[in-house]
Chains A and B, each alone.
Chain A
Amino acid sequence: MAIELKVKTMAEYLASGETPEVLFWVGCAGSFDDRAKKITKAIVKILNHVGIKFAVLGTEEACTGDPAKRAGNEFLFQMQAMNNITVLNGYNVKKIVTGCPHCFNTLKNEYPQLGGNYEVIHHTQLVQQLIESGKLKVEGGSFKGKKITFHDPCYLGRGNDVYEAPREVIQKLDIELAEMKRSRSKGFCCGAGGAQMFKEAEKGNKEVNIERTEEALALNPEVIATGCPFCMTMMTDGVKHFNKEQQTKVLDVAELVAQNINE
């Protein structure tokens, strides 16, 4: 499916003398990971649909430093942070939306002490606000009546107490929201946080994502919804592990919405 994307960079806005309402922080996964790029495009589709003037940093964006910080390399984190803050402040950025809970957490909570103060929201919060204010109308469409379960990303949920925004968005799709026993503040990690995404797990008797996917699949959902590119990778691998990719799709909340926007 070819989607016509309208994407402008901060530099382009600056050149045209205009100011965007919001900066869309794409993140490394959203920029480079083939699966996560689809989430990025879904977010852009929503932003285009409601006509929000947004910009991306494009080649001027660099890793927030989250994985470096969680791995213990505070030097590298702060180097990344200060360089990014220089770029963001240079463009006088006020508001940021991002599709990655790790970028969200770092930009929102860890940049202020280093001189970067922005209003940062996660894309599920933005979508929820757009629906609330009537700017965005979504309906079930292809998902109507289907069973969906939501996996809470740690850095969105426990990390920042955002539990309801993604759920409210999913509920708008006219579907059946099935909760796993371990959800919200008791949510179970996908296994990728804390820089685990980039290394083999330590020795154990099971992979964390297998345990989590098993729990989700026990509900027999048609969709496992996520709000994080790392969770996406881990849950997708989990579903493949159980050979359930025919029955159960893993989709980001943004993709659920983008596929069912009222044109």
Chain B
Amino acid sequence: MGIANIIFILLLGGATAWFTINFKKVIRNIRLGRDADFSDNKSQRWLTMTRVALGQSKMLTRPTPAILHIFVYVGFVLINIEVLEMLVDGALGTHRSLSFMGDFYNFLISFFEVLAFLVTFGCAVFLIRRNVLHIKRFTDKELDGWPRSDANIILTSEILLMSALFLMNAADQVLQSRGYGHYIQAGSFPISHYITPMLSGISDDGLVMIERVCWWFHIIGILGFLNYLPYSKHFHILLAFPNTYFSNLKPKGQFTNPESVTNEVKAMLDTTFTPPPADPNKPMRFGAKDVYDLTWKQLLDAYSCTECGRCTSSCPANQTGKLLSPRKIMMDTRDRLEEVGKNIDTNGEFRDDGKGLGNYISNEELWACTSCSACVQECPVNIDPLSIIIDMRRYLVMEQSAAPQELNLMLTNIENNGAPWQFSPADRLNWAKEN
């Protein structure tokens, strides 16, 4: 075992440890949310996950990005088999350790090259779509700054990683043809053989250098990428799976009936009813003031969001120029959750910072929602922005009494007349007598 292998193993160990630490922080943050039970209908949940996350069924409603996304997604997943070989080679100091598979290995390598090309192609088109074509959901102002850079960093790094793979294979091929050192004849290279002519004038040592640099660039890049995920919207590549497993299986029109309210109402209507004792560790609250008042699934939603903006581009309020953007609701929820997480990291426990979700999401945004479920329908990973909007409205109305004046009038009418308009209940059947 050489010094290179030791360095590699240390890097691998460090990267894994760092990722584990950050991943655990995310899980801790998600667990800050309220309990919610998703233990029912296991088979239907697996089916939903297989269809929506693995099978990309909801992506397909928009064919162009769907095809490109499938290139990148399938490529990303399958090329990881090649990464497996790199891990073995890196740890043991071998070279192309899977090449004993012969023809099948040749097939694998050529297959990966084609996939890598499709990934590169997909990412390039995505970059163009984002930065050159003026597609509204990518030019919205909520993406200004980090979200836009984040997307471009991801796409550019994938292109760089794939390019390194091609250059490495090309150098390897030239060395193979020269019978140099341990570079045995292995693999088939339908894409990178186009690069080999450009390398033919380079010395053996130079080629070894190129091959090694690219190898290290690729593997360090992948480890870096892994550790970039928890900081990025790209985290969806992992969380799409649990997020779709824990999908809301109920009709989209069905909103939750918060138990805290049910107990209060029962106590009001029935004096003999005694509500169960409240959990002393959780503040008694109606609706959502902060991330603690959302369920862990709503927080998982926030981490699963890849900011694609399909929700926003189908939102009737957004499409008619109102301030509401369901995507921004999810981004804001994640930002606030991260802020709470950092607060806990710094202080050992959450210290009241006088803030809440309301510091990120304005009342105007919340009141623009028509609860039409278009955002819920559109999300390719079954995120439910509507449930957060309603929970925040509940807080505004039940704890802050901050409904718009016209809604207060409507609510008073329901309370007094049993109808949202000012009509007498005695007149309810008048229609049957009118002609």
Partner of A208, one of B286, B317, B390, B418: B317
Are B406 and A31 in contact, with the CB atoms below 8 A?
no
Partner of A76, one of B287, B377, B414, B427: B414
For B392, the chain A residues whose CB sits under 8 A away are 72
Are A28 and B419 in contact, with the CB atoms below 8 A?
yes
Are B406 and A199 in contact, with the CB atoms below 8 A?
yes
For B317, the chain A residues whose CB sits under 8 A away are 202, 204, 208
Are B390 and A70 in contact, with the CB atoms below 8 A?
yes
> For window 145-160 of chain A, which residues contact chain B by CB distance below 8 Å?
154-155, 158-160
Q: Is B373 an interface residue (CB 8 A)?
A: yes
A86 to B332 CA separation, bound complex (whole angstroms): 41
For A109, the chain B residues whose CB sits under 8 A away are 250-251, 253-254
Q: Is B135 an interface residue (CB 8 A)?
A: no
* Interface residue total, chain B, C-beta cutoff 8 A: 70
Are A105 and B429 in contact, with the CB atoms below 8 A?
no
Interface of chain B, main secondary structure: helix
CB distance from B383 to the nearest CB of A (A): 15
Are B431 and A203 in contact, with the CB atoms below 8 A?
no
Interface residues on A, range: 35 or more
Are A80 and B414 in contact, with the CB atoms below 8 A?
yes
Task: Answer whether A59 and B323 are a contact pair too, CB < 8 Å, given A67-B414, A74-B261, A160-B253.
Answer: no
Are A37 and B434 in contact, with the CB atoms below 8 A?
yes
Task: Answer whether A72 and B269 are a contact pair too, CB < 8 Å, given A63-B420, A203-B323.
Answer: no
Partner of A161, one of B251, B390, B419: B251
A159 to B319 CA separation, bound complex (whole angstroms): 20
Are B320 and A208 in contact, with the CB atoms below 8 A?
yes
Are B251 and A160 in contact, with the CB atoms below 8 A?
yes
Chain B residue with the shortest CB-CB distance to A38: B431
Are A37 and B251 in contact, with the CB atoms below 8 A?
no
Task: Answer whether A72 and B320 are a contact pair too, CB < 8 Å, given A62-B425, A159-B373.
Answer: no
Chain B residue with the shortest CB-CB distance to A41: B431
Are A195 and B407 in contact, with the CB atoms below 8 A?
yes
Q: Is A174 an interface residue (CB 8 A)?
A: no
Task: Answer whether A32 and B427 are a contact pair too, CB < 8 Å, given A63-B418, A74-B258.
Answer: yes
Are B428 and A199 in contact, with the CB atoms below 8 A?
no
Partner of B414, one of A68, A72, A154, A187: A68
Are B410 and A71 in contact, with the CB atoms below 8 A?
yes
For A125, the chain B residues whose CB sits under 8 A away are none
For B327, the chain A residues whose CB sits under 8 A away are none
Task: Answer whether A202 and B322 are a contact pair too, CB < 8 Å, given A65-B414, A114-B262, A191-B316.
Answer: yes
Q: Is B403 an interface residue (CB 8 A)?
A: yes
For B428, the chain A residues whose CB sits under 8 A away are 26, 31-32, 58-59, 61
> For window 20-46 of chain A, which residues contact chain B by CB distance below 8 Å?
26, 28, 30-33, 37, 40-41, 44
- Give the one of B252, B324, B423, B425 with max A CB within 10 A: B252
Are A114 and B257 in contact, with the CB atoms below 8 A?
yes
Question: Of A1-9, A218-226, A246-254, which stretch is located at the interface?
Answer: A1-9
Partner of A72, one of B319, B398, B409: B398
Q: Is A82 an interface residue (CB 8 A)?
A: yes
CB distance from B314 to the nearest CB of A (A): 7
For B265, the chain A residues whose CB sits under 8 A away are 75, 78-79, 82
A242 to B406 CA separation, bound complex (whole angstroms): 27
Task: Answer whether A202 and B431 are a contact pair too, CB < 8 Å, given A28-B420, A67-B410, A73-B397.
Answer: no
A sample of 6 cross-chain residue pairs with beta-carbon separation below 8 angstroms, ordered by A number, consists of A70-B255, A71-B410, A78-B257, A79-B415, A192-B370, A203-B364
